[in-house]
Structure 1
Amino acid sequence: MSSIIEPNQTGAPFTVGIALDGAGWHPAAWRDGSARPDELFSAAYWEQLVGIAEAAGADYVTFADELRVQPATGSPAHVDPTVVQGRLDALLTASWIAPRTHRIGLIPTVTTTHTEPFHVATALQTLDHISAGRAGWQLRISADSESAAAFGRRPAPRVDTAAVLAGERDAGLAELVSGAADAAEVARQLWDSWEADAVIRDASTGRYLDRDRVHRINFVGEEFSVVGPSIVPRSPQGQIVVTLLAHATPVYELAARAADVVFVAPEHDARPAGASSGTDVAEIVAEVRAAEAAVDRATLGLPPLRIVADLVVALDTPAEPGAHRIARLDDLAGAPFKSDARVESGPPTHIAETIDRWRAAGIDGVRLRPAALPLDLQLIAAELLPLLRARGLASPETQETVSLRERFGLAPAPNRYERERTAQEVAA
């Protein structure tokens, strides 16, 4: 683990990430006087946002994405004209930004439900190459009929939303989770399908490749079969950091089977928080750790799971308290802001106290969702991150480039085929 990363009480580094989405996480943020709604689909806008986060020393940024126009309700033709509609593709945006940044991790959201796992895996490998080892993946499942209709390949599984929100088991959700686990496993096998020294470039013999170090994966699952190998050579991290957002036990279990980092939403009572609504931070940590303990992650080649808490923030300015900004945006939206994560407003010291308390309860990091962009991101950079750093709740500022795995304190990823080769050589 790099010496620049400050460990927390469990030995893992305590990380601070920034979740980016449009004009901010409040649905009326595009109407705030500080917003730039005419630039939301421009390259310069996203480059500036990520640049602010990188200059401030944030560990990573995530890019929100899904397969439907947001926030669709009812039929695909039903859209809310009062909120921002449409997004740039998260993976393509991250890939464009990668060579324009140097230190910050880049984690696009990519759904697994209707996409081809081979394409997802190779595109993420490409991002890891062009970012020099700073790529991550926020895995997402898509249960809605709008996403299924957009692709037209198969109907969406029937998910009993009421049961899921109540924390009950549901066959439809189980189907989605199983498919996502298979997609993640295919990706991990493809990422290993080239050993690190497969490309030899021996001009004297005319051999560019050692074919014995490139492997077919021959994966067979319930929904798809993938032979492999990947078309992309092994990337700098080997295994790209896999993350996902979880609000219920089945998704905690998916994280335990497939992810390196799980984003959770403690201490929040709104319905969008799903089964985790009203659950305190210690209870969520205990439930995630129980799911992790039920899986032999070492045999799967996975490190201990990192738990990161999501927090929507609206920071005070000299002209307006953050709480007033939320109330003003609520008035513009015509309804109170309902998020799937806790909404915290106030001065940086108040936000830092919540984060410090969560860390003491076993959280390994925090992902901050700015309520309004770029305003709250600028305040995070100028005021909150320096305070967190002073309290040992953020990594020290550095010009050193480290991989995203190092940012999260994850050990270098061994290649399963190299491991098998070594075992065979020892046996012989």
Structure 2
Amino acid sequence: MADPTLFLGLELAGTGVHPASWRRADSRAEDLFTGGYWVDAVTAAETAGVDAVFLPDAFTPQPGGPGVTRGRLDAVAIAARVATATHGIGLLPQASVTHTEPFHLSKAIASLDFASAGRAGWEVTVSETAAEAKAFGRKGVQDAGSLWHEADEAIEVVTRLWDSWEDDAEIRDVPTGRFIDRDKLHYIDFAGDNFSVKGPSITPRSPQGQPIVAVRAADAAGAAVAVRRADLIRISAASLEQARARRADLRAALDRAGRDPDAVRVLLDLDLHLASTVDAAAAEVLELDRWAAPAAAPRAGDAPLRHLGTTLGLRTLLDEIGGVADGVVLRPLALAPVLTRLADLGRARPAGTAFRHRLGLPRPVSRYATAPTN
């Protein structure tokens, strides 16, 4: 059995991250835009012992030619749909800050935390393309520095809004007719380069106090924000040695930033395909590659660590990853066969406790709890 303490995440990218995965007979591509598809996928992941699912999203259709799955459902809405059908698995939708107001994001993720009884997270993303900018029409394309500076401010606004209600602000005092103690709601008074938000939130403080924040350290600007803000940092590496070095660099950066490196989890992305044998897995991926249009093929420099083989081989690899990272995020090339075989890892179903508790992270105290009343 693979190390049961290793964080195991699963990225649910439609029918799989491979652009031709929808063409497999078992893909259920016809159900992709139904709630039932996502409920079945997430409940299967929970049964297999997956700790959390990551739900990709963006403001443009998937890139590639006519042979690529096109179209998306909103990731936060998917997470809300599956929240009541699951009991222990963490739910981390992606949500971009580039064309979205942080007030709206804070409310959406806090509401998800209530709906899931404390299992919500938020993977922070940015929108880099001209197509996304034109879809909104409010501003032009930004460079990486500008995008991530805006993201840094947005996370600050969101987390302040999550804290703007103290835990005991709801008093529901029938004799006096007061539902809330107004002295325990606080203005956040944030003024930055991109946002000016007074607050407070209109949503009470959620079960976790602050839902889990994840950031992908894909470039220098994103990594800098991850070091300042994230509870979970996602990395990609071509080898275990490279992953070990990246985690060491991030932990050193966390220490320099005044954060406890042991209070942040570094997660390694792992692309995978599972079959009955190594040869069968390789043959099935070769078939996917033949189906894929050239425009949809990954660029050479983007290839992360891969496992094409059996569940037994995956167990061995997860044990090795446990020595170089705090967890792994599985990215199935085709989702259906991975969901079918993940149960063979022998992991226990995640307990129905707050996501923070399962990660061993404390529930933060509201930064305004000792502040003067408004």
**Match 1:402 to one of 328, 335, 353:** 353
- 1: CA distance between counterparts of 2:329 and 2:27? 21
Matched, 1:131 2:90: no
- 2: CA distance between counterparts of 1:314 and 1:258? 32
- 1: CA distance between counterparts of 2:254 and 2:93? 24
Runs of 4+ in 1 over 4 A off after TM superposition: 334-340
Matched, 1:150 2:138: no
Q: Quote the offset at 1:115 in angstroms.
A: 0.5
TM-score normalized with structure 2 length: 0.93
**Match 1:192 to one of 163, 166, 173:** 163
Residues 276-299 of structure 1, C-alpha deviations (whole Å, 9 max, x = no match): xx971121112211221221237x
User: In the alignment, residue 113 of structure 1 is paired with which amino acid?
Assistant: T
Q: Quote the offset at 1:353 in angstroms.
A: 2.5
Q: Aligned with 2:329: secondary structure?
A: strand
Q: Quote the offset at 1:317 in angstroms.
A: 2.3
Structure 2 residue aligned with 1:355: 318
Matched, 1:416 2:358: no
Give ranges in structure 1 of 5+ residues lacking alignment. Answer: 1-5, 72-78, 158-171, 269-277, 390-395
Residues 408-427 of structure 1, C-alpha deviations (whole Å, 9 max, x = no match): 22111111112447xx9xxx
**Match 2:329 to one of 367, 380, 401:** 367
User: In the alignment, residue 42 of structure 1 is paired with which amino acid?
Assistant: T
Q: How many residues align?
A: 368
- 2: CA distance between counterparts of 1:291 and 1:173? 20
Q: Quote the offset at 1:46 in angstroms.
A: 0.7
Matched, 1:41 2:5: no
**Match 2:8 to one of 11, 16, 36:** 16
Matched, 1:344 2:307: yes
Decide whether aligned partners of structure 1 residues 35 and 7 sit closer, same or farther in structure 2, where only a CA change above 3 A counts. Answer: closer
Q: Quote the offset at 1:139 in angstroms.
A: 0.4
Matched, 1:96 2:81: yes
Structure 2 residue aligned with 1:32: 24
- 2: CA distance between counterparts of 1:222 and 1:284? 31
Alignment of 1:97-246 (within 5 A): 97-157=82-142, 172-246=143-217
User: In the alignment, residue 290 of structure 1 is paired with which amino acid?
Assistant: A
User: In the alignment, residue 339 of structure 2 is paired with which amino acid?
Assistant: L
**Contact 2:8-2:330 at 8 Å conserved across structures:** yes
Structure 2 residue aligned with 1:56: 48
Structure 2 residue aligned with 1:256: 227
RMSD of aligned alpha carbons: 2.2
**Contact 2:118-2:208 at 8 Å conserved across structures:** yes
Q: Aligned with 1:417: secondary structure?
A: coil
**Match 1:285 to one of 226, 236, 247:** 247
User: In the alignment, residue 27 of structure 2 is paired with which amino acid?
Assistant: A
**Contact 1:249-1:287 at 8 Å conserved across structures:** no
- 2: CA distance between counterparts of 1:7 and 1:403? 21
Q: Quote the offset at 1:318 in angstroms.
A: 6.0
Alignment of 1:249-328 (within 5 A): 249-267=220-238, 280-297=242-259, 304-317=263-276, 321-328=280-287
Q: Quote the offset at 1:304 in angstroms.
A: 2.1
Q: Quote the offset at 1:25 in angstroms.
A: 0.8
TM-score normalized with structure 1 length: 0.81
**Contact 1:330-1:337 at 8 Å conserved across structures:** no
**Contact 2:271-2:330 at 8 Å conserved across structures:** yes
- 2: CA distance between counterparts of 1:293 and 1:176? 24
Q: Quote the offset at 1:340 in angstroms.
A: 4.8
Q: Aligned with 2:118: secondary structure?
A: coil
Q: Quote the offset at 1:200 in angstroms.
A: 0.3
Q: Aligned with 1:118: secondary structure?
A: helix
User: In the alignment, residue 238 of structure 1 is paired with which amino acid?
Assistant: G
Q: Aligned with 1:114: secondary structure?
A: coil
Q: Quote the offset at 1:378 in angstroms.
A: 1.5
Q: Quote the offset at 1:334 in angstroms.
A: 4.2
Q: Aligned with 2:171: secondary structure?
A: strand
Residues 227-286 of structure 1, C-alpha deviations (whole Å, 9 max, x = no match): 000000000000110002222232221101111101111226xxxxxxxxx971121112
Q: Quote the offset at 1:341 in angstroms.
A: 2.6
Q: Aligned with 1:107: secondary structure?
A: strand
Q: Quote the offset at 1:210 in angstroms.
A: 0.6
- 1: CA distance between counterparts of 2:87 and 2:124? 24
- 2: CA distance between counterparts of 1:340 and 1:57? 27
**Contact 2:277-2:309 at 8 Å conserved across structures:** no
Q: Aligned with 2:270: secondary structure?
A: strand
- 1: CA distance between counterparts of 2:264 and 2:349? 25
Give ranges in structure 2 of 5+ residues lacking alignment. Answer: none
Alignment of 1:60-71 (within 5 A): 60-71=52-63
Identity among equivalent pairs (%): 38
Q: Quote the offset at 1:371 in angstroms.
A: 1.2
User: In the alignment, residue 182 of structure 1 is paired with which amino acid?
Assistant: E
Q: Quote the offset at 1:319 in angstroms.
A: 10
Q: Quote the offset at 1:16 in angstroms.
A: 0.5
